[in-house]
Structure 1
Amino acid sequence: MTRPATHIWRLLKWGRTLAKHGALRGIEGDPNTPPQVKRLARIARFGTFQPKVPDYAGAFRAIGPAAIKLGQSLATRPDLVGEEAANNLLTLQDNLPPVPFAQIEASVQATFGQPLSELFSHIEPEPVGAASIAQVHRAVTSDGRDVALKVLRPGIREQFEKDIQTYEWAAAHLEALGGEEARRLRPQLTIANFKRWTNRELDLRREAASASELAENMAGVEGYAIPEIDWDRTNGRVMTIEWIDGVKISENAKLAAKGHNLPELANRLVLTFLKQAISGGYFHADMHQGNLFVKDDGTIVAIDFGIMGRIDRRARQWLAEILYGLTTGNYRRVAEIHFEAQYVPSHHDVGEFATALRAVGEPMRGKPVSELSVGQMLDGLFAITRDFDMQTQPHLLLLQKTMVMVEGIATQLNPEINMWDTSAPYVREWIRDELGPEAAIADRIKEDAGTLFRIPDLVRRIEDRFPAKGGAPEPPPVPEVELMWERKAKKGERSGVVGYLVAGAVGAGASWFAITQGWLG
C-alpha cells in the first residue's frame, strides 16, 4: 500500500507544476473553494513566475501521461473546470517524444517470444505517431501485408497505476472534506470511471476487440469502415491492424483536390456517430481529427479504438427523446425525461426545469454551427446542473466529449452545417421505430385519462425510496481509502505531527482534485 507521504509528495509536485503554468489562479478566487485548498494553492505558487494567461493544457502535459488523459477527459466538462479551462484543455494533444526504436523492437520481440523476422519482414524505425500510452510504426508482415503496429510504451502500465492510486487517494479526501458540493460532483466515482477507461486503453487486446465489435455493428453502413485486426500479431502490449491509405479528415484542401464533397462528408460523419451511439449503443469515443481518414473512394475510416462508449437501451431512448425534444422545442418532455431518468431529484419542479432548458435551447434553434453550437448547448446545460442538484453522470461523459469532437470536425468540413437539422430526421425515425405504436397509444391514454397524470408523482415517490438505475450502468466499485484522520485515530500518533500531516494531506488532496475537477464550482 502506498504511504500517505508518497501521495502528498506527488500532489505537491503536480501542484507546483500547475502553479508555474498559472493554473491555480482560479482556485484562490473561487468562493466555493475550501480554505485548506486555498492555503495549499498559495503555498504551491509561492515564488513562481505566473503567466498572464493560464496554460492548463501545458500544465497537464508537463505533469505526464496520466494527467494528459485526465485533462482530455475534463476538456468537455465546463461545469467542473470552468469554461476558460475547458477551452484551453481542448488544445491538449496526446503526443509525446517517441521511445527509441531499439526499446520498441525489444518489447515486441519479448512479448511474442519469437524472432521478429518470423512476424514482420520490415518495421519502419520512425513512428507515425507517438502518444502518451503507445506509439505506432508502419510495418509489413512476413506474408507481405501493410499494417500499422501499435506498441505500448515500456513501463506505462506501472506509471499509470501509481498515478491513479494518488488520484483515488486525493478524491477520497476531497469527498470527505468538500461537503454536499463534492458529493454532487462525485469525485471518487469520476476517478473510478477514469481508471476503468484507462485500464482498457492499456490492454491492446481490448482495443482490438473494440475495433472488431464496432466493425460488426457498422458492417451495413455505406461509406464508413473499420480496419481489419491481425489477431495472430496482437496481444496485450502489441496490436497489429490493417494499414489505411487516406487523407486526414482535417485536411480540407487535400480532400477537395481529390474531389470529395465536404458538406456530404460532414453529414455522413454526424449520422454515423448517431447510428453508433443511438442505434447501437456502442461508439468510437475518441473521434478527433487524427483518428479519421478519407479513402479515395470517399469512405470514412476510423482508427484508434482505445476509448469506446457504451449506453444501454433505456438510456438511448432517453437520449434520443432529449435530442429530439431540444430540436423541436418540446422542453417539457425533455424535462420529464430528466426526472424519469433521475438525473434531477424529484423535489424540484418539472416546469421550472423545463423553463431553464428553454433558456438554453431557444437561442440555438435553427442556427448554423458557425453561429451557435452543440458545444455551447452543453455548456448551457452544465450551467444549470448545480441549481437543480444534478449529479455527474459518468456513463454520459464520453458521449458528451464525442459530441463536441464530431461537431468540431463537421464544422470544419462545412461551417454552415446545422447539427439539429442533420440529426433530427435520424433521431425522429429511430424513436418511431423503437417506440412504434406503443408511444402513440400511451400518448392517447395520457390525453384521455386525466387521472393518469398523478401516476408519475406516485412512481417518483416510490423510486425515491427504492431508486432505479436511471438507465446508467452499475457504477464501478470505489476503493476503500483510509483517510488521514482515521489513520491518526488508529495509530495514535502525537497530535502535533498528525495535525500537520492531516492538514497537508487533505489540503493537497483537495487541491489536486479541485484543480482538475473544477475548483468545486
Structure 2
Amino acid sequence: NRDWLGIYAECCRILWQEVDYLQEGRSADTFRRNFRGIDWVKVPKVYWRYASPRVLTLEYVPGIKISHYEALEAAGLERKQLAKLSARAYLQQLLNDGFFHADPHPGNLAVSPDGALIFYDFGMMGEIKANVKAGLMETMLGITEKDADRVMNSLVTLGALEATGDLAPVRRSIQFMLDNFMDKPFEAQSITAISDDLYEIAYDQPFRFPATFTFVMRAFSTLEGVGKGLDPEFNFMAVAQPFALQVMSENLPSGSNIIDQLGRQAAQLSTSTFGLPRRIEDTIDKLDRGDIRIRVRAQESDRLLRKLGGMQLATNYTLIFCALILSATLLFVNGSFIPTAVVGAIALVPGWALWRLLKKLDRYDRKF
C-alpha cells in the first residue's frame, strides 16, 4: 500500500531543487524570514548581487559544528539545551511555518559562541500544507497523551491510515505501541523483541506511507540522531508536547471578556450533555466489533439496564444544573443581578429532578 509513484515524484522534485542555486537562495531567504523574530536561530543572508544558477554567495556565519562535543563543552555551551533547541527549531518549521529543512545533519548545523543554532545548505527543503500541519499537531498531542483514538483519527486525516470498516484492531495496535514504546529508552529493551512485537501488531494493518512524509520522516530520524548525540537522554516527544500545546493556544482565538468565557464554557457543557447519545452509539459499535466485551448474568441484566438508564438521566440533569449554576455565578460576578435570579430559578428545576432521581436510585439499590 505504499505510494511508490508519489514518493518517486517527491524525491525527483526535491533533487531537482537541490541543483538549482537560485531556488536554494530563495529557500534560504524564506527560512531566514521565518526565524527573524527568534534570536537563538541564525541563518546566513544571500548576496543576490553575486548569485547565479551556478554560484550562490552567502553571508559568512562561523560556528562550532554541532557534533564537535568537546569544542561545545570547551565553549561553555550546554549540550542538553542545544538538543532541546534543535527539536524546538524543527517543530517551529513543521507546525508553525510548514517549510522545513529536510537535511538537518551535523554538517548543516552549527552553534554560535552565544549558543544560537546556525543552519546551512538550503538546497533540500520541504513544504507541508495547513491541513497536514494540523494533523501532525494532533498526532503529537495524541502520542504525548497516549490517546490511541486521537492518534488513529489524525493518521486517517493525514492519509497514513486507511479508513477501513473496522479500525478496532488498529486502535489496539496503536495503544499497545503507546503503552510499551513511547516512555522507555530503546537501549533498555531487546531489539529482537521490539521487532517481533511490531511485526505482529502491524502485519496486515491498513497503515500507509504518504509521499508527503518522505522527507519529514527523514529529517525526523536525522534530528533524533543529532539530539541523542548531544544528550543520550534526549526525548523528542518531551519537547514536542509543550511546544504543540503552545502553538495550539496561539492559534486559538482568545476571548477578551468574561461573557466570551461564559459562552465557551456553556458550549462545552452543552456539547458534553447532548453528545451522550452519540457516545452510547459509539459504545454499541465497539461492542459489535468486539472491541468491548461485557458478560452479565441473565437475571441481573434488567436491573442493570434500568440503573444505567437512571444514571444517564442523572448525568444529564447534573450537567444542565452545573451549567446553569455556573452561568448564574458569572452573571452575579458581573453585576447582572436580575438575570442571575432568573437563571438561578431555572436551575432549581433540574436540581429538584436530580434530587428526586438520586433518591429513587438509592431506594432501588436497597431493594435489590
TM class, shorter-length: 0.5 to 0.7
Measure, in 2, the Cα distance between the counterparts of 1:185 and 1:380: 21
1:34-45 map, 5 Å? none
Secondary structure of the 1:323 match is helix
- Equivalent position of 1:326 in the other structure: 143
Is the Cα contact below 8 Å between 1:282 and 1:311 reproduced in 2? yes
Distance 1:453 1:209, change over 3 A: farther
Measure, in 1, the Cα distance between the counterparts of 2:145 and 2:17: 38
- Equivalent position of 1:186 in the other structure: 3
- Equivalent position of 1:166 in the other structure: none
Indicate whether 1:255 and 2:81 are aligned: no
Measure, in 2, the Cα distance between the counterparts of 1:378 and 1:436: 44
What are the Cα deviations for residues 280-335 of structure 1, in whole angstroms up to 9, with x where unaligned? 11111100011001111111100011111111111111111111111111111111
- Equivalent position of 2:112 in the other structure: 295
1:109-258 map, 5 Å? 184-258=1-75
Indicate whether 1:409 and 2:231 are aligned: no
Is the Cα contact below 8 Å between 2:161 and 2:207 reproduced in 1? yes
Distance 1:345 1:289, change over 3 A: same
Is the Cα contact below 8 Å between 1:271 and 1:426 reproduced in 2? yes
After TM superposition, give the deviation of residue 432 of structure 1 in Å: 3.0
Q: Which amino acid aligns with 1:422?
A: V
Q: Which amino acid aligns with 1:245?
A: P
C-alpha RMSD of matched pairs (Å): 3.1
Indicate whether 1:449 and 2:275 are aligned: yes
1:306-321 map, 5 Å? 306-321=123-138
After TM superposition, give the deviation of residue 196 of structure 1 in Å: 0.7
Is the Cα contact below 8 Å between 2:173 and 2:202 reproduced in 1? no
- Equivalent position of 2:173 in the other structure: 356
Is the Cα contact below 8 Å between 1:446 and 1:453 reproduced in 2? no
1:10-21 map, 5 Å? none
- Equivalent position of 2:82 in the other structure: 265
**Whose Rg is larger?**
2
Is the Cα contact below 8 Å between 1:204 and 1:236 reproduced in 2? yes
Measure, in 1, the Cα distance between the counterparts of 2:39 and 2:200: 38
Is the Cα contact below 8 Å between 1:249 and 1:292 reproduced in 2? yes
- Equivalent position of 1:89 in the other structure: none
Equivalent of 2:208, from 368, 373, 391? 391
Secondary structure of the 1:256 match is helix
Distance 1:192 1:270, change over 3 A: same
Q: Which amino acid aligns with 1:259?
A: G
Distance 1:436 1:364, change over 3 A: farther
Is the Cα contact below 8 Å between 1:249 and 1:255 reproduced in 2? yes
Equivalent of 1:344, from 132, 148, 161? 161
Indicate whether 1:422 and 2:248 are aligned: no
Distance 1:452 1:432, change over 3 A: farther
Is the Cα contact below 8 Å between 1:260 and 1:298 reproduced in 2? yes
Measure, in 1, the Cα distance between the counterparts of 2:144 and 2:181: 9
After TM superposition, give the deviation of residue 411 of structure 1 in Å: 0.9
Is the Cα contact below 8 Å between 1:225 and 1:302 reproduced in 2? yes
What are the Cα deviations for residues 68-123 of structure 1, in whole angstroms up to 9, with x where unaligned? xxxxxxxxxxxxxxxxxxxxxxxxxxxxxxxxxxxxxxxxxxxxxxxxxxxxxxxx
Is the Cα contact below 8 Å between 1:267 and 1:422 reproduced in 2? yes
What are the Cα deviations for residues 3-23 of structure 1, in whole angstroms up to 9, with x where unaligned? xxxxxxxxxxxxxxxxxxxxx
- Equivalent position of 1:102 in the other structure: none
Q: Which amino acid aligns with 2:275?
A: A
Distance 1:381 1:425, change over 3 A: farther
Measure, in 2, the Cα distance between the counterparts of 1:314 and 1:442: 24
After TM superposition, give the deviation of residue 449 of structure 1 in Å: 2.3
Distance 1:306 1:244, change over 3 A: same
Equivalent of 2:251, from 417, 434, 449? 434
After TM superposition, give the deviation of residue 194 of structure 1 in Å: 1.2
Measure, in 2, the Cα distance between the counterparts of 1:237 and 1:244: 21
Distance 1:278 1:382, change over 3 A: farther
Q: Which deviates more from structure 2 when the two are superposed, residues 384-393 or residues 207-216?
A: 384-393
What are the Cα deviations for residues 104-159 of structure 1, in whole angstroms up to 9, with x where unaligned? xxxxxxxxxxxxxxxxxxxxxxxxxxxxxxxxxxxxxxxxxxxxxxxxxxxxxxxx
- Equivalent position of 2:351 in the other structure: none
Is the Cα contact below 8 Å between 1:285 and 1:398 reproduced in 2? yes
Q: Which amino acid aligns with 2:144?
A: T
- Equivalent position of 1:366 in the other structure: 183
Is the Cα contact below 8 Å between 1:281 and 1:310 reproduced in 2? yes
| Higher-RCO chain (CA-CA 8 Å, sequence separation at least 6) | 1
Is the Cα contact below 8 Å between 1:370 and 1:416 reproduced in 2? no
After TM superposition, give the deviation of residue 439 of structure 1 in Å: 9.8
Is the Cα contact below 8 Å between 1:348 and 1:388 reproduced in 2? no
The gaps in structure 2 that reach 5 residues or longer are 255-262, 283-368
Is the Cα contact below 8 Å between 1:248 and 1:293 reproduced in 2? yes
Measure, in 2, the Cα distance between the counterparts of 1:419 and 1:379: 24
Distance 1:402 1:242, change over 3 A: same
Is the Cα contact below 8 Å between 2:17 and 2:24 reproduced in 1? yes
With structure 2 as the length reference, what TM-score do the two structures score? 0.66
After TM superposition, give the deviation of residue 391 of structure 1 in Å: 3.2
Measure, in 2, the Cα distance between the counterparts of 1:392 and 1:433: 30
Which has a greater percent of helix? 2
Q: Which deviates more from structure 2 when the two are superposed, residues 384-393 or residues 265-274?
A: 384-393
